[in-house]
Amino acid sequence: MEKKIGIIGSGQVGIALANGLTRHGYDIMVGTNDPEKYMDIQSKTHSAMRIGSFEETAKFSDLLILAVKGAGAEEAVRRAGIDNLKNKTILDTTNPIEEIAPTNGVLHYFTSLEESLMERLQKVAPEANFVKCFSCVGNAFMVDPKFGDIKPSMFICGNDDDAKTRTRHLLDEIGWETEDMGKVEAARAIEPLCILWCIPGMIRGQWMHAFKLLKLY
């Protein structure tokens, strides 16, 4: 399993994953465009956390996690350097959230049900192996989610089977049951799960939940 994980993005998701995966023994680099954020990132992680540009983070990693604002995701992939992403597994946490107020707790997306954000990213870097992951749960639960005896479901998808196997191994280790929904187009169904996940929070202030797929097979 890859030990060097690069996280492109230093928001709540980037920081939660950096701290959680460090606990599991991974060597982490957090990427930001903004050198003025280095001190802030260090104060939220540990003082020896590696921090670099998106490009340095991509070069450092065996496996990458993309954790940037949806509207900046294509730009972030370009800044990481398309050549640095060749044949690399990239766990894509992003959601295409439009920057306008939700309607009765329902977020607006800038994509449609005919084209997900991850399909756009896969077109920007055709030789990278994107896997949708972590997009449908709050950052507090991304590593070692605790729901009593129940392991929550993480819905993933992507074109490369080997990349999905690597993703499954990581998810097994950090407390998730993986549900593979197929190829990149399945992101059209997975990304909107974030809208559903956020509604109880937006309308009732309840944010402590995760999805579980119940199966009779």
* Angle value at C-alpha 128, between 126 and 134, nearest 5 degrees: 120
| 73 Ramachandran zone, left/alpha/beta (phi>0; psi -120 to 50) | alpha
Q: Which is nearer to ligand NAP, 10 or 89 (CB)?
A: 10
Interface with ligand NAP includes 93 (CB under 6 A)? yes
Interface with ligand NAP includes 56 (CB under 6 A)? no
First to last CA, the chain: 29
Interface with ligand NAP includes 97 (CB under 6 A)? yes
Least distance CB 121 / ligand NAP (angstroms): 11
Least distance CB 70 / ligand NAP (angstroms): 4
**Cβ 62 vs Cβ 104: under 8 Å:** no
Under DSSP, the state recorded for 141 is G
Q: Residue 112 in 3-state DSSP?
A: strand
Least distance CB 128 / ligand NAP (angstroms): 16
Q: Which residues bind ligand NAP (CB under 6 A)?
A: 9-14, 32-34, 37, 67-70, 72, 75-76, 93-95, 97, 134-135, 138-139, 194
